[in-house]
Structure 1
Amino acid sequence: MKFENQKETLTVSCSDLANSSFQCCNLSEIKMNDVNLTGMNISDANLSELVIDGAQWGGAHFLYIGYGNPSQPDLEHNNKPVQFSNCNIHQGIFRDCNLTNVKLENCDISGLVINGVNIENLIKQYVSIEQK
């Protein structure tokens, strides 16, 4: 099946679309439930307001993710913060990322290491100094 240059509402249920390709498509407001996206590759995409709920993501790799097109700063999604809630990032690695003004709220930071510094131990040292 092939759709080209058409604006259609499509409902797909209980289908195997493995190895399908979507090029230059508007998939805004698409809803997916009980889907297998293993090995899915998304590139050059606007993921503003994307919600992923109840998913497994072992081995997921996020590269070159930002806040939109800097040449279009007025876009409403460019300034909205990215949020992670109730996520397991155990043994995850953030490499060469801009974490300016990131907030960790109610997070288990045991073993958290930033540039070789164990943050849990650093906080314990700070608390003991403050208590003196």
Structure 2
Amino acid sequence: MNLKVEKLHLEMADISESTFDKLKAESLRFNNVNLARTDIVNANMSGMTLDDVNMSNTRITNANLSGSEIRGANYSNAVIANVHLYGTTIRDVILPKEGEGPYPAGEHPPVRFENCNLTGAKLTACNLSNVDISDCEISGLRINGVLVEELLKGLARKEKSQE
């Protein structure tokens, strides 16, 4: 592809509804711009930094986000589906308490893990208060080194003997 080399400096310009097709656009800088409803399709965005951005209601599909970091983000009511998490670390994630921003007013839905394969996952120093685990495979599940499956079997035997 033979490209025309041209450096643009646009300031205080409205380029709404513009189309950019088959471009080399490396090392661009966007500062104080409104990119609402922008579509970026089939783009190499490796090494990109997004800082102080409003990405609410953004949809990312068919993306390679390996090695990416999300820090200091409000990820409330987000959906993560059909994602590979090999070697992923999820750290210092909190559910804010009332009075801590951004805390949703009224009742808020719980964080949910549905149909997830967490085989071999490690949970360390996590607050699991009021966690509800149902319809899950628990073979080999240990809490502080104790097999939960054996605890449940012992509890069932104890309840059966008390009948």
Between 23-32 and 2-11, report the one with greater CA deviation: 2-11
Q: 56, 59, 65: which is aligned to 1:37?
A: 65
Corresponding position of 2:53:
25
Corresponding position of 2:121:
92
Unaligned runs of 5+ in 2: 1-27
Q: Conserved in 2, the CA contact under 8 Å of 1:67 and 1:77? A: no
List aligned pairs for 1:1-132, cutoff 5 A.
Answer: 1-9=28-36, 10-68=38-96, 70-72=99-101, 74-76=103-105, 79-132=108-161
CA distance in 2, matches of 1:49, 1:77: 14
Larger radius of gyration: 2
The offset of 1:77, in angstroms, is 8.7
CA distance in 2, matches of 1:73, 1:27: 16
Please, what is the CA RMSD of the aligned residues? 1.8
Identity %: 30
Give the number of equivalent residue pairs: 132
Unaligned runs of 5+ in 1: none
Normalised by the length of structure 2, the TM-score is 0.75
Judged with a 3 Å threshold, the aligned counterparts in structure 2 of structure 1 residues 73 and 52 are, in CA distance, closer, same or farther, namely closer
CA distance in 2, matches of 1:90, 1:56: 13
Q: Conserved in 2, the CA contact under 8 Å of 1:67 and 1:79? A: no
CA distance in 2, matches of 1:54, 1:104: 21
Higher relative contact order (CA 8 A, sep 6+): 1
- Give the counterpart letter for 1:128 in structure 2: R
